[in-house]
């Protein structure tokens, strides 16, 4: 068997995943922390102020990576949901469930920082521009998934029902975005193009890319943390949990 | 023709059941008139203030009224075991979902669309907007029904679903609302509503192809017979 | 409160953005982490009890 495939199969087994998560989580968390400190320092202190917007543009170092993540996580969530529905892998259900609150958090960050950026830039906290409005809808799509999953008594049933909703949502997200754009375009043109001619200076771009990487690493960290917790809860009576936790002098040390 | 019999039977049964309880059928209309009444009062009742907002108010009212009928869409079938029988039986669940959606649209979508002239009168909707309003609502409610059956199927086995159903359905209604009221707006501005209506129809067609299978998958989740 | 924020100039908005983001991140991480710690301690205690019984 192809080693990559074998690794995926192994990852699907709860004890393997538990050990994998426990081993790698600190690295993801730590690198996310270090990178965001560097990114924010470069963005807040080193990058020059924008000649049009002044200092307030610095909010994009939080706003834009969070916005990217809000959409990326929705897709990641839907992919896990599809795997959970098709192959009924228990771990995918947990990863699916773990994605939703993290995605909702990033969407909330996007909205709040967008509003705080909007006041000095547009003169109002909320303007009905296409991207902000889509983000607001996205937040409610996340809430729908979280609400539906938690409404079921059985975790696995809830996860699968919410996965169907997630898939319906992922088909709808582009339609919603397009329709909202059709409805109103007031936003300034897209400023971030990584390839080709970019309208932003490289000293302003670097912190943004670092922050984008940091949020990705944070996502993996938070995902592993949440999925590991749910796995432990679900499998608390299994033998492997005893084995992983029981000689405390070996498995413990850090809890 | 005989291959279609189970679906036809379900459609006929849903319609017959609805007509047996005519009062229930009129409830969404009553709700719509009430919402319009509240808007009319809040807006002071003057035609100058009512006319510009009449089209969006009608759209929101119709979507809300149609939404209210979703909660009971699968509940009786779950309670009396009909649903489990479907799932155990040989009939295609997707086909049954199409029949279910068609019945719901005929009862509520068409019903509410046909009562729009009444709402339009109450709100002083400019007369030239009424035809496009009716067309857009006819198409839009068909799409809204498709979203509705998915949401109703997802929450069918839950004891209470009110707010959750709203949370699921409302964001997905958004594109229908945008294109639907966009078509009316186009006529108001003296432009052709064709683009908006076509986009609305395209969305409805997409929903028609995707939603019934999704609803069927959702219904299977809580059952004892995995697919 | 909003009037106070607006009187702080651009950096006021930036600091508030950073603070709210930090709060949300902590709110995202802390509950699952605490819950997990509690659960682990619980399971460990159970395992220890069982070991005692077998010994």
Cα–Cα–Cα angle for A23, A24, A26, rounded to 5 degrees? 95
| Whole-angstrom distance, CA of residue A76 vs CA of residue A216 | 12
- On whether residue A42 sits in a domain, the answer given is no
Q: How far apart are the first and last CA of chain A?
A: 36
Task: Select the residue from A130, A161, A170, A177 to test the B interface by mutation, using most B Cβ atoms within 10 A.
Answer: A161
Candidates C2, C4, C20, C32: best to mutate against A (most CBs of A within 10 A) is C32
CA–CA separation, A216 and A118 (whole Å):
25
Whether A248 is covered by a domain: the verdict is no
In A, minimum Cα distance to C13 occurs at: A116
In percent, how much of chain B has pLDDT > 70? 97
Q: Does C37 touch chain A (CB under 8 A)?
A: yes
A49 touches A55 (CB < 8 A): yes
- Domains contained in chain A, number: 1
* Domain ranges across chain B: 2-220
The answer to whether the CB of A142 falls within 8 A of the CB of A166 is: no
pLDDT for residue A154? 87
**A137 belongs to a structural domain:** yes
* Cβ-defined contact of A169 to B172 (cutoff 8 Å): yes
Residues of A in CB contact (< 8 Å) with B are 85, 137, 140-141, 143-144, 147-148, 151-152, 157, 160-161, 164-165, 167-169, 171-172, 175-176, 178-180, 182-183
Q: Do C17 and A105 make contact, defined as CB atoms within 8 angstroms?
A: no
Residue A38 domain-assigned (yes or no): no
Average pLDDT over residues B210-217: 92
Q: Do A56 and C21 touch (CB under 8 A)?
A: no
Q: Say if the ipTM goes beyond 0.90.
A: no
SS3 state at A50: strand
**Mutation to test the A interface, candidates C28, C35, C42, C53, most A Cβ within 10 Å:** C28
A254 is a domain residue: no
Higher pLDDT, A231 or C9: A231
Neighbours of chain B (3+ CB pairs under 8 A): A
Please check whether residue C14 touches A, CB under 8 A.
yes
pLDDT at B224: 52
| Alpha-carbon separation of residue A156 from A89, A243, C43 (angstroms) | 10, 24, 22
Residue C36 pLDDT > 60: yes
> A54 forms bridges with which residues in the sheet?
A50
Interface test with chain B among A168, A182, A184, by most B beta carbons within 10 Å: A168
How does the average pLDDT of chain B come out, rounded? 87
Q: Tell me the three state secondary structure of residue A167.
A: helix
Q: Do B164 and A175 touch (CB under 8 A)?
A: no
Integer Cα distance of B70 and C42 in angstroms: 44
Residue range A187-204: mean pLDDT, rounded: 52
Asked, for residue A86, whether it belongs to a domain, the answer is yes
Of A120, A229, A242, the CB nearest to C47: A242
How does residue A68 score in pLDDT terms, banded at 50, 70 and 90?
A: very high
- pLDDT for A88-142, tens place per residue? 888 999 999 999 999 999 999 999 999 998 888 878 888 877 788 889 999 999 9
Least confident residue range of A47-56, A150-159, B187-196: A47-56
**Over residues B140-167, mean pLDDT:** 90
Angle at CA of residue A101, ends A96 and A105, nearest 5°: 140
Query: Which chain A residues touch B158 with a CB distance below 8 Å?
Result: 151-152
Residue with the two structure tokens 């209309």: B29
Query: Hey, are the CB atoms on C43 and A236 less than 8 Å from each other?
Result: yes
Contact A126, A193 (CB under 8 A): no
The parent domain of residue A80 ranges over 59-193+205-233
User: Is pLDDT above 70 for B27?
Assistant: yes
Angle at A246 between CA A242 and CA A248, to 5 degrees: 155
Whether the Cβ atoms of residue B71 and residue B207 lie closer than 8 Å to each other: no
Closest-CA distance, A107 to chain B, in angstroms, reads 15
Q: Do chains B and C touch (3 or more CB pairs under 8 A)?
A: no
Banded model confidence at residue A253, pLDDT cuts 50, 70, 90: very low
* Predicted pLDDT at B83: 84
Dump strand ranges (E) for A73-209: none
The answer to whether residue A19 is domain-embedded is: no
pLDDT at A195 over 70: no
Give the residue on B whose Cα is nearest the Cα of A155.
B222
């Amino acid at each position: 068997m192809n080693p990559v495939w074998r690794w995926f199969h192994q990852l699907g087994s709860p004890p393997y995943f538990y050990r994998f998560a426990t081993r790698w989580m600190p690295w993801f968390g730590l690198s996310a922390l270090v990178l965001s400190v560097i990114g924010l320092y470069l963005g807040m202190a080193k990058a020059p102020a924008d000649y049009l917007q002044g200092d307030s543009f610095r909010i994009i170092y939080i706003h834009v990576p969070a916005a990217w993540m809000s959409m990326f996580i929705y897709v990641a969530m839907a992919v896990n949901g599809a795997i959970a529905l098709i192959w009924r892998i228990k771990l995918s259900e947990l990863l699916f469930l773990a994605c939703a609150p993290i995605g909702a958090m990033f969407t909330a960050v996007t909205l709040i920082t967008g509003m705080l950026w909007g006041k000095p830039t547009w003169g109002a906290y909320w303007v009905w521009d296409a991207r902000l409005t889509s983000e607001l809808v996205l937040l409610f799509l996340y809430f729908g998934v979280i609400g539906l999953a938690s409404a079921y008594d059985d975790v696995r049933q809830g996860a699968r029902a919410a996965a169907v909703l997630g898939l319906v949502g992922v088909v709808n997200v582009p339609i919603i975005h397009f329709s909202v754009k059709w409805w109103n375009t007031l936003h300034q043109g897209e400023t971030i193009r990584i390839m080709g001619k970019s309208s932003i200076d490289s000293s302003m771009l670097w912190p943004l890319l670092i922050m984008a990487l940091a949020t990705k690493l944070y996502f993996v960290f938070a995902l592993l943390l949440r999925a590991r917790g749910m796995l432990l809860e679900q499998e608390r009576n299994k033998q492997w949990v005893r084995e992983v936790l029981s000689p405390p002098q070996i498995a413990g040390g850090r809890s | 023709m005989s291959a279609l019999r189970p679906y036809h039977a379900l459609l006929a049964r849903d319609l017959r059941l609805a007509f047996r309880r005519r009062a229930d059928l009129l409830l969404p209309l009553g709700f719509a008139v009430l919402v319009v009444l509240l808007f009319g009062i809040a807006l002071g009742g003057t035609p100058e203030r009512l006319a510009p907002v009449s089209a969006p108010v009608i759209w929101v009212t119709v979507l809300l009224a149609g939404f209210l009928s979703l909660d009971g869409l699968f509940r009786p079938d779950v309670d009396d075991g009909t649903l489990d029988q479907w799932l155990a039986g040989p009939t295609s669940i997707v086909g049954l979902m199409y029949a279910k959606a068609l019945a719901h649209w005929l009862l509520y979508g068409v019903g509410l669309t046909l009562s729009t002239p009444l709402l339009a009168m109450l709100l002083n909707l400019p007369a030239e907007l009424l035809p496009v309003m009716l067309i857009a609502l006819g198409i839009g409610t068909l799409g809204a029904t498709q979203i509705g059956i998915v949401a109703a199927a997802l929450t069918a086995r839950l004891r209470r679903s009110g707010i959750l159903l709203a949370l699921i359905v409302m964001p997905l209604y958004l594109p229908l609302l945008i294109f639907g009221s966009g078509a009316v707006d186009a006529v108001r501005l003296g432009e052709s509503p064709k683009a908006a209506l076509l986009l609305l129809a395209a969305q409805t067609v997409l929903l028609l192809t995707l939603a019934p299978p999704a609803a069927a998958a959702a219904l299977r989740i809580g059952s004892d017979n995995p697919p | 409160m909003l009037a106070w924020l607006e009187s702080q100039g651009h950096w006021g908005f930036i600091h508030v953005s950073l603070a709210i983001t930090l709060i949300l991140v902590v709110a995202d991480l802390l509950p699952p982490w605490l819950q997990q710690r509690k659960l682990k301690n619980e399971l460990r205690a159970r395992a220890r009890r069982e070991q005692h019984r077998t010994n």
